Structure 1
Amino acid sequence: MTREAGSANDDLLLKVSPPRVQRQLISRPRLLASDAAFHGFPAILIQAPAGFGKTSLLAQWRLEHLSHGVVVAWLTAQARDNPGRLAQALALAVRQGAGRPSFGHLLLDAVAPEGLEGITIWLAELAQTALDVVLFIDEANRLPPASREALAYLLRNAPPNLRTVIAARPDCHLDIDDLIAYGQCVVVDPAMLRLRLNETLELVHGRFGARVDNDTAARLHDMTEGWPLGVQLAMTVIARGVDARADVDGMAALGGALRDHIPALLLAKLEPDDRDFVTRIAILDNLHPELCRAVAQADDAAERLARLGRDTPIFVASERGEWLRMHMLVRDVLRQAFAGLAAPQQAEAHARAAAWLAERGQLEQAARHALIAGQNEKAYELTERSLYESIMAHGHQGVVLEWLNQLPAAELDRRPRVLLAVAWTLAASERHEDAGRYVERILAQPGVNDALRCECALILSGAAVFADDPDLFAALHDPWAESPPLRDPLLLQVHANRRAYRSLLEGDPALARLRQQQSPRGDFGSGRGYVGRWGELIIGLSYLWEGQVQLAESLLQPALASAEADLGRRSKLGCMLAALLASAVWERGRPADAAALLADRLDVLEHGGLPEALLLAYRTMARMAMAEGAEHRAMELLAGLDAVGTARALPRLRVASLVEQVRMHARRYRAQTCRTLCEHIDAMMDGDELPSGRLWRRSVAALRGLAQGYTAIAAQDWRGALEPLARAEAIAREIRQERLHIELLALRAYALDRCGETEAAALMREALDLAAGYGLVRVFDDAHPDVGQWARAVAGRTGVPGLGMPLPAPAVAVAPRPEREASRHDAARGAVLTPKEREVLDMLARNLSNKEIGRAMQVGETTIKWHVKNLLGKLDAGTRKEVVVRARILGLIQPT
């Protein structure tokens, strides 16, 4: 080999040296190399702007493949890699990865061949080996055009024993669209690389533990929109501070340290013309090439948007075709820069935006820009034309409230449809009393007909629902129940929702679903429409009402995803759907999922959620805290529920809070505390200020009986517990609240067992069978820990599989982990081994050599030999094979 060739090889060594995986990275199950989404594809293209973790994902995949004994070759591309140099780098990468010093000698020991000849030689030699090779090529966007063509040639002519994974920026065109179209290559885009909420929670808690709560982590996720680099920067700011919540608040208000990083990372590299362009369009919430062209007066707006969207993470693609939106952090910085422009320039830009949007029917956004531009009369006219549809078809309640604060009172009375929109908005909030006053203003105007009176009744009945007054709701709904004088399909759907809810209040959830299914299907525009999602919420509530948590989850999961996509994660309807779904997954025994669903949503529910959704959210969180042993946190949550009930004048929530407190103290047999709380409930119920209607009284009567039963259990007065439990159980059966019925049945069975009654076991078996049928996993442990323990004992004696009982300490549901981590978890029972020895043992079981284990663990072969020697001694084995056999016998690794 010549001296020049040796120098070239030395120069290539850094290109084929893979990076280390950062310790704080999380392993995302949906992005594992072994996931079904990537299985069977000979090529994978990871394409995203900077900051999306392309290199980190490649490094993680490399370790995953190494842990399975696969030969892995790594190459970091450079701008001076012509096709000949690229072929030499590929040869050295395989030589290093496979440990074969002779591989690629034709390429490395001579002058680099020209054109595609070197790639052809490399492919031919690789095909002749007996190696399954995974080739990782990072930063392929740096390659010159000729080398990109060579890479496309490599992909089209790859032998069966080669799999290629390429990471590149979006502006890298490899001309492999045909491979993608024919299923030979799968593309991983920015949407897949963005962190999901549960992944952000895991990442933040993995670094900060209990210092950062779920709400703060969820706010951080929403602020960064799951951009991996943004999350990392935010965590850096938090690590330097003392109060994590205050740090996140500062970032959200553009007063924190994160703001200083954004221009440097995202905007500093922009050309001055591009910087001016994005500053002028930052006033727009949603971006379209033609809209940006009109606002920024830039004829090349479409080209600029496409280029900046490819090269930077400034823009986020929308599901609406050509529409984009700007990343929230960047938009806020640029809007501050826009505010520095001359006032006439700002007004002119807003006026152009208003004109373009109004011509295309986007009236509310047009009105907003017109008002800022000083075109008040035009803004009010556009508002009248758009606001009613905005609330009825899209549920934009925040938009209506913003306009309510900006419109003069005289303008409101001149525009009846605006009054209607405001009344609908206030009715579905904690300001339900204000809705009544706006309805009075509507009915006082001339030209009122039956259709308008019926709509006003719908508004007031909705306010009664949010006021937790079911009897008033029934009184307002029933006169219009059968033949409403309505023609608008949206109003007919609202009426159908109310009929379904009325059936639910009477204790007939099946009829509620039937009425919902028979509702008229109007044209609600895109998607299923806002009122259609309310129908899904009612159906989900009906399933929870009767304890059908499996059906509730299957319905609510896609409904929540759709609502979040259209309305936002912290929208009122999205938060209510999340509260219902969290209750369902908690009952299914998945507390981690329930916690993620409720993160940073409780404040929205407090100010505008349905009483039932608010109750379910607080109760789920309190029970999670109790299951974790954090009784102080559970007490705080239940006190918060009582405070919200007081602030919103919802006495049923106060009763429910006291009942949950009785349940909590009864678990520790605190008889005196339970008696005091029960006396407080009795005093509230006997007061004159509470509603006296039949439906409301029945809803709390079961809760009162449950509290009395728990109080007797706390005092271990088993005979005294039977009567109130039986009374509450009869009400639960009458209104078909099966989850409550099963809980009361189990409590009564336990009390009978403590009294020595023989029928106790039969009752518990019935409760177990019902719980299994409904998919209820938590019901017995949530009722009382002793009831849960006895239920498991009865279930074990019956020998009937599939009863749905949890383990003694219900496990937190976690996402699937790589096989290497799962084996490590199983081996953790062998306390005799160190963590590193358990990892080495796991790979020995896969018949990996010391060199392969060293590559997978990123340590030297000598270190692995030392670990193997320790394993031989600890397991009293003479060979590597005996080590594996004895480990399986001892249960340190799972048997094959």
Structure 2
Amino acid sequence: MPTDSPSTELVLKTMAPRAPSGLLARARLNAESARSQIVLVQAGAGYGKTSLLAQWRREFLARGAAVAWLLADDRDDAERFLRALVHAIRTGCARPGFGRTITESAGAPGAFELATAWLAELAQLSLDVVLIVDEADRLPASGAHMLDYVMHNAPQNLRIVTAGRQGLDKPAAELLAYGQAELVGPEALRFRVDDTIALVTQRFGTRVDADACARLFEITDGWPLGLQLALTAMARAHDPRAALDNLAAGPRGLREPLVAALLSELSADDERFLVDISVADVLHPELCAALTAADDAPQRLARLVRETPVFVAAEESDWCRLHPLARDVLQTRLTALSDDERAALHRRAARWLGARGMLEQAARHAHAAGEREHAYELAEQSLHDAVKQGQLGTVLDWLERLPEAELEKRPRLCLAVAWALALGERHREAERQVERVLASPGADDALRYECALIMSAAAWYADDPDRFLTLFEPWADTPPAKDSWLAQAHANRLAARAMLLGEPAQARRLQQAVTRAQTGKGLGYVVRWGDHMVGLTWLQEGQVKLAESVLLPALASAEEDLGRRHPLTCMFAATCASIAYEDDRIDEAGALLANRLDVLEHAAMPETVMLAYRTAARIAALRGDEHRALDLLEMLHAMGVARNLPRVCATSLVEQVRAHAGRYRAQTCDALVERIDALVDEHGAARRPIWRRSMQMLQSMAHGGAALARQDWQAAIDRLAHAEQLAATMKLGRQRIELMALRAFAQEHATGDGHASFLEALNLARTYHLGRVLIDAHPALADWARRLSETGGTDPGERPAVPPHVVRVPPRSGEGGPRALPSVILTPKEREILELLARNLSNKEIALAAAVGEGTVKWHLKNLFGKLDASSRKHAVRRAIALGLLEGVQ
């Protein structure tokens, strides 16, 4: 160590950056969430690592720790890195004399012996110290070895946080394995939908709604840099929502200039390399070599992944992909190539992917290269497996490409297409494909059984439960082999049958009997369907907490594997949103439904669609947007008409009756009831018992609600009692409690004896954690429950407070002027003197304000100057601001 005075470079390397003014501190990523002594933050460029470290630094300071900051670079060999560590502690801990013996030991012991002395001296400090090393992956080998030595020998009072793009986890593998360190990767750093909503709301308030925020999340894939670029573009626009629409429109909108800014520093060769490889969905070094015919392609890819913020790299894998924002723009540049060049790229991709068993991707590239017959052969081999994996959109995309003649001669393709069509609104088309399959030569019992499963699914989606039972019943007692992927599908059908017959507990037992040992890509999709059925049974009974315990993990898994807007993911989200709403987690419920209603409308089971729209409408009403709530219900009715689902139409009308009955709008309710009666008259005769029973319950609920609006109490009692009886028969727990409470309300007004029934409904609602069932049923029920609570009649079910999903970083400037943050570096009196010093007061004025003598003020100032390494009053204030010890100074 040649000298004790720090160089300009060391001063700058140990100066912490300012936290961005618009930084959103996410509660799940706060400093307390990182509990280990060693924390590694590792992700590619653009993931907000430095912003997270700046947030943590402020939080650590607020908790009383001293924070030392160090920005590493590729010149930090062991000796230079140790000098930087010494100065970082001097700066962050306000200890100008720290490490003097180390800096004066030039040429004596080696760097690692001096590092031991650094650790020993640090251990003797009466401070909790946090060392933050940013861009640690840039360290040369000796500097990285020094950092590894410090991490493995850190004393009790030292926490270390390092950040870098890659390679931090390998030297710390032992620490990670023994739980002494933890890794924060790109998945943790990605913004979630609720984070995005909070961030956009912080910037634009109500000018951008939750659906638009979710679209922004999907466009950027939660990529922090992409979000920041998009928000900047939206902020510059007169209408941020219009700017978002422009961004969503495709690469020829705002995406081109945004991505062009990220690629502006690339050479022409690198840019052409990116254009060529953008032809593939996922990238591998060998695939890039095959596409570009360049020997250095793997090395070039590794360098661009490291240096260019447009890649999403998988952890501990050679696979990566271009970020969707960047790939869209690069593919527009790909279209500028000649037809022969593009065909050659697709042909190379098809051969490489096909040789490695990635048949569906190979088929798409073969089709794009003009090799149609080869593409159809590959599609026939792969699309049935795509159905098993839940890739229904992929199958439907192929349906648009496949000529009818190809479908005619390829029954296996027809089978895959039939599955994809059945699980949505196109059930009539599914039936035609099944007929084509059954008419083909070689249609054995196994094929007929699979076709029966397809047609029963189509009947379920068509809201025809009686036909579902008719189609499935002949096969119910002949399950497939246990090792078949259809074994889980068979169990799902058995569970659905038990639910329709009013036996939800039996449905769960049937699911538990299925072996789920193989839950990889082959069976993961149908296994999640089983989770969905189990969750629906709990939800049917009103057991929302038990339903949530199954559905929330399944939702997280489905989002990761299938994507946010996959139909099954959206169905999980709809059920979870209804549970969150019931628990008064309104913002969470809204985030779960954001930008998903359109998917549910076209590709979800009717029950889930109704649940989603009802929840969305009730959220809107709770937020004071009654007109929006009624509009959502009318949209549900229109969807029911479009898909020929009369029960969906009736549910929309019943929900509207409930909304109007609470405000005693009798004429409006009567008009809605007439529409429901007309639906029952039109469709009831052609339907069978299970469907009619469900419609009768809805009809009785509507008549009961209309009678409440007219204050015709006896008519309300009769209709609500009938609906309650049907709900009990169907094991509909929430509806039964709601109807019981409404009937008690009517009885109380008619005869004065509704008190006992209402108490029972209250107790059941509390037992099942149905926090909003009575509030939503009728405003008067909430008032009644409140009165009973005040008189000691019952405790109407208190709901625990819900912690916020996100918190914002405290503003930099407080309204009360300069404020010294709590810190172990300064004593309370020194913090008080520092605040007064920042107000430009003289020593005499400080003495009067602090009620001390001028001599005492001078003594404290001397200590402050020493701790802050400052040479003047103004310098001390600026140093305190830089160290995060003082804020609110203009």
For the aligned pair, the TM-score class normalised by the smaller chain equals: 0.7 to 0.9
Structure 1 residue aligned with 2:426? 431
Q: How far off is 1:733 after superposition?
A: 0.5
1:298 to 290, 294, 301: 294
Letter paired with 1:27: A
Structure 1 residue aligned with 2:640? 645
Structure 1 residue aligned with 2:828? 849
Letter paired with 2:372: N
Structure 2 residue aligned with 1:757? 752
1:221 has 2:217 as partner: yes
Structure 2 residue aligned with 1:49? 44
1:68 to 56, 63, 68: 63
Q: How far off is 1:84 after superposition?
A: 5.0
Q: How far off is 1:362 after superposition?
A: 2.0
Paired residues of 1:123 and 1:159 also in contact (CA < 8 A): yes
Letter paired with 2:637: D
Structure 2 residue aligned with 1:456? 451
Provide closer, same or farther for how the CA distance between residues 574 and 255 of structure 1 changes in structure 2, counting only shifts above 3 A. same
Q: Distance in 1 between matches of 2:729 and 2:643?
A: 29
Q: Distance in 1 between matches of 2:295 and 2:833?
A: 57
Provide closer, same or farther for how the CA distance between residues 45 and 385 of structure 1 changes in structure 2, counting only shifts above 3 A. closer
Structure 2 residue aligned with 1:324? 320
Q: Distance in 2 between matches of 1:584 and 1:71?
A: 43
Paired residues of 1:590 and 1:813 also in contact (CA < 8 A): no
Structure 1 residue aligned with 2:260? 263
Q: How far off is 1:407 after superposition?
A: 1.5
1:783 has 2:777 as partner: yes
Q: How far off is 1:255 after superposition?
A: 2.4
Letter paired with 1:769: N
Structure 1 residue aligned with 2:510? 515
Q: Distance in 2 between matches of 1:846 and 1:558?
A: 44
Q: Distance in 2 between matches of 1:659 and 1:504?
A: 22
Structure 1 residue aligned with 2:654? 659
Structure 2 residue aligned with 1:771? 765
Paired residues of 2:485 and 2:523 also in contact (CA < 8 A): no
Paired residues of 2:788 and 2:794 also in contact (CA < 8 A): no
Letter paired with 1:444: A
1:20 has 2:18 as partner: yes
User: What secondary structure sits across from 1:21 in the alignment?
Assistant: coil
Paired residues of 1:651 and 1:690 also in contact (CA < 8 A): no
Structure 1 residue aligned with 2:604? 609
Deviation per residue, 1:440-494 (Å, 9 max, x gap): 3333334444433333332222211111111222222223322368898233432
Deviation per residue, 1:206-240 (Å, 9 max, x gap): 11111111121111112211111110111111222
User: What secondary structure sits across from 1:50 in the alignment?
Assistant: coil
User: What secondary structure sits across from 1:629 in the alignment?
Assistant: coil
Paired residues of 2:44 and 2:313 also in contact (CA < 8 A): no
Equivalences for residues 551-562 of structure 1 within 5 A: 551-562=546-557
Structure 2 residue aligned with 1:357? 353
Paired residues of 1:423 and 1:459 also in contact (CA < 8 A): yes
1:59 to 50, 54, 57: 54
Deviation per residue, 1:811-837 (Å, 9 max, x gap): 77523759x97xx9xxxxxxxxx9756
Q: Distance in 1 between matches of 2:62 and 2:174?
A: 32
Q: How far off is 1:868 after superposition?
A: 14
Q: Which moved more, 1:253-262 or 1:93-102?
A: 93-102
Provide closer, same or farther for how the CA distance between residues 841 and 390 of structure 1 changes in structure 2, counting only shifts above 3 A. same
User: What secondary structure sits across from 1:692 in the alignment?
Assistant: coil
Provide closer, same or farther for how the CA distance between residues 57 and 196 of structure 1 changes in structure 2, counting only shifts above 3 A. same
Q: Distance in 2 between matches of 1:91 and 1:763?
A: 74
Paired residues of 2:343 and 2:369 also in contact (CA < 8 A): yes
Q: Distance in 2 between matches of 1:508 and 1:869?
A: 80
* TM-score with structure 2 setting the length: 0.87
Structure 2 residue aligned with 1:33? 31
Provide closer, same or farther for how the CA distance between residues 131 and 842 of structure 1 changes in structure 2, counting only shifts above 3 A. closer
Q: How far off is 1:791 after superposition?
A: 2.1
2:275 to 279, 290, 295: 279
Q: Distance in 1 between matches of 2:846 and 2:475?
A: 79
Letter paired with 2:41: I
Equivalences for residues 803-842 of structure 1 within 5 A: 804-806=797-799, 814-815=804-805
Structure 2 residue aligned with 1:893? none
Q: How far off is 1:620 after superposition?
A: 0.4
Q: Which moved more, 1:618-627 or 1:330-339?
A: 330-339
Letter paired with 1:494: A
Provide closer, same or farther for how the CA distance between residues 320 and 97 of structure 1 changes in structure 2, counting only shifts above 3 A. closer
Letter paired with 1:169: R
Deviation per residue, 1:573-597 (Å, 9 max, x gap): 1111211121122222211221111
Which segments of 5 or more consecutive residues in structure 2 lack a partner in the other structure?
A: 852-890
User: What secondary structure sits across from 1:255 in the alignment?
Assistant: helix
Paired residues of 2:684 and 2:692 also in contact (CA < 8 A): no
Identical-residue share of aligned pairs (%): 48
1:156 to 152, 155, 160: 152
1:93 to 88, 93, 107: 88
Provide closer, same or farther for how the CA distance between residues 853 and 462 of structure 1 changes in structure 2, counting only shifts above 3 A. farther
User: What secondary structure sits across from 1:483 in the alignment?
Assistant: coil
User: What secondary structure sits across from 1:19 in the alignment?
Assistant: coil
Q: How far off is 1:244 after superposition?
A: 3.8
Q: How far off is 1:349 after superposition?
A: 2.4
Provide closer, same or farther for how the CA distance between residues 452 and 522 of structure 1 changes in structure 2, counting only shifts above 3 A. farther
Provide closer, same or farther for how the CA distance between residues 100 and 454 of structure 1 changes in structure 2, counting only shifts above 3 A. closer
Q: Which has the higher contact order (CA 8 A, sep 6+)?
A: 2
Structure 1 residue aligned with 2:562? 567
Structure 2 residue aligned with 1:420? 415
Letter paired with 1:757: G
Q: Distance in 1 between matches of 2:755 and 2:484?
A: 54
Q: How far off is 1:847 after superposition?
A: 11
Structure 2 residue aligned with 1:828? none
1:404 has 2:404 as partner: no
Q: Distance in 2 between matches of 1:133 and 1:302?
A: 41
CA RMSD of aligned residues (A): 3.6
Q: How far off is 1:553 after superposition?
A: 0.7
User: What secondary structure sits across from 1:775 in the alignment?
Assistant: coil
Q: Which moved more, 1:237-246 or 1:300-309?
A: 300-309
Paired residues of 1:195 and 1:226 also in contact (CA < 8 A): yes
Q: How far off is 1:643 after superposition?
A: 0.9
Equivalences for residues 523-602 of structure 1 within 5 A: 525-526=520-521, 528-602=523-597
Provide closer, same or farther for how the CA distance between residues 204 and 177 of structure 1 changes in structure 2, counting only shifts above 3 A. same
Paired residues of 1:52 and 1:194 also in contact (CA < 8 A): yes
Structure 2 residue aligned with 1:878? none
Structure 2 residue aligned with 1:890? none
Provide closer, same or farther for how the CA distance between residues 384 and 157 of structure 1 changes in structure 2, counting only shifts above 3 A. closer
1:136 has 2:132 as partner: yes
Q: Distance in 1 between matches of 2:501 and 2:315?
A: 41
User: What secondary structure sits across from 1:776 in the alignment?
Assistant: coil
Provide closer, same or farther for how the CA distance between residues 867 and 489 of structure 1 changes in structure 2, counting only shifts above 3 A. farther
Deviation per residue, 1:621-659 (Å, 9 max, x gap): 001111111111101111111111111111111111111
Paired residues of 2:61 and 2:67 also in contact (CA < 8 A): yes
Q: How far off is 1:347 after superposition?
A: 2.0
Q: How far off is 1:547 after superposition?
A: 0.8
Letter paired with 1:262: V
Q: How far off is 1:734 after superposition?
A: 0.7
Structure 2 residue aligned with 1:254? 251
Deviation per residue, 1:288-344 (Å, 9 max, x gap): 333333333234444444443344343323479543222111222222233333333
Structure 2 residue aligned with 1:886? none
Q: Distance in 2 between matches of 1:83 and 1:623?
A: 62
Paired residues of 2:389 and 2:521 also in contact (CA < 8 A): no
Paired residues of 2:62 and 2:821 also in contact (CA < 8 A): no
Q: Distance in 2 between matches of 1:50 and 1:554?
A: 36
Paired residues of 1:427 and 1:460 also in contact (CA < 8 A): yes
Which segments of 5 or more consecutive residues in structure 1 lack a partner in the other structure?
A: 825-833, 873-896
Letter paired with 1:781: I
2:475 to 463, 477, 480: 480
